Amino acid sequence: MTTTTAQPRSDFDARAAAVKAVADRGRRQDNIFRGVALASALAVLLVLGGVIASLFIGAWPAIREFGPGFLVTETWNPVTDRFGAVAPIYGTLMTSAIAMAIAVPIGFGIAVFITEICPPWAKRPLGIAIELLAGIPSIIYGIWGLFVFAPFLQHHVQPFLIEAFEDVPVLEALFRGPPYGIGILTAGLILAIMVLPFITSITRDVFETVPAMLKESAYGLGATTWEVVWNVVLPYTRIGVVGGIMLGLGRALGETMAVTFVIGNAHRISASLLAPGTTISAAIANEFTEAVGDIYTASLILLGLILFVITFAVLAAAKLLLLRAQARAGGGR
């Protein structure tokens, strides 16, 4: 009788020990995973802090020499060691604005066509074409822009724009001057072509996550395709759409080689979009190997720090807008 009672007790203890061992192993794995995840997050912050510190230390001689005036000075003279960032900042913002003004509506339209209108047999070829366009190296865009696109603009598009807006207020100033082919407008158009596949791909992917039942319900109520997209698809996917736009904007702000080929690389500000200009990335790429002296090098590093701040500010503003939109949507519900 004692043996019969002891045997089940022994089996119960063995099973309890096995369950405890499994639980302990799971806790150890969770602790390891938590530690790895925490270390990864801290590593990102550490790298970010190191980048900021390195840029600030490298730029300190220029900060000490020029102060806040560096941001509002157009002069860029390596001979006299007088430098200002307003021309590269202007070029960076203008080319990115032109690129986004063109790429966002076109990318949105392509994504809507592929997800809502396109025949099934054409969806895959269009998707592959967009992805291939995103994979082209930037230097190829630059070479194509310099030898093919810029001459086309010089001989056909820019003369037409100059003549068409000759007597139109505001637009006359934007499209005034000789048709060089290269310049702010050309760089903006090249950037638009470069960021278009990123915006289109992400927008298409997030549009495809919308449950079919939501769209079918809207169609059942008599909504048109545009009404379904505007009132159902876009509100459901606004976070992903804004993320795609921000990814494209980040690419436009930091693009170097393609812009360097076609912008003209002139450190001056002109009201005309046809005039040559420069961007922060192009200025750094063109002149860093030729920089002689601490002030010249520090000024280029300071340009990099300014570009970092601009990019960070744009992304932070986009995140703030998304949070406010989510808060309003939550309050509405």
Torsion of CA 126, 145, 305, 37, to 10 degrees: 20
Nearest-CA neighbor of 105 among 296, 295, 241? 241
Alpha carbon distance 214, 232 (integer Å):
7
Amino acid symbol at 112: V
pLDDT of 307: 93
pTM: 0.84
Which pLDDT belongs to residue 281?
92
For 26-129, list the strands marked E by DSSP.
76-77, 82-83
CA separation (Å) from 269 to 10, 85, 91?
Answer: 87, 11, 8
Choose among 179, 102, 142, 155: nearest CA to 262. 142
What pLDDT score does 225 carry?
A: 85
Q: What is the pLDDT of residues 98-154, one digit of tens each?
A: 999 999 999 999 999 988 888 888 888 888 888 888 888 889 999 999 999 999 999
Digit-coded pLDDT (tens) for 56-92: 999 999 999 998 999 998 889 888 889 999 999 999 9
User: What does the alpha-carbon distance between residue 133 and residue 105 come to, in Å, rounded to a whole number?
Assistant: 17
What the chain holds in terms of domains, given with CATH numbers, is 69-332 (1.10.3720.10)
Q: pLDDT digit string (tens) for 248-280?
A: 888 888 888 899 999 998 888 988 999 999 999
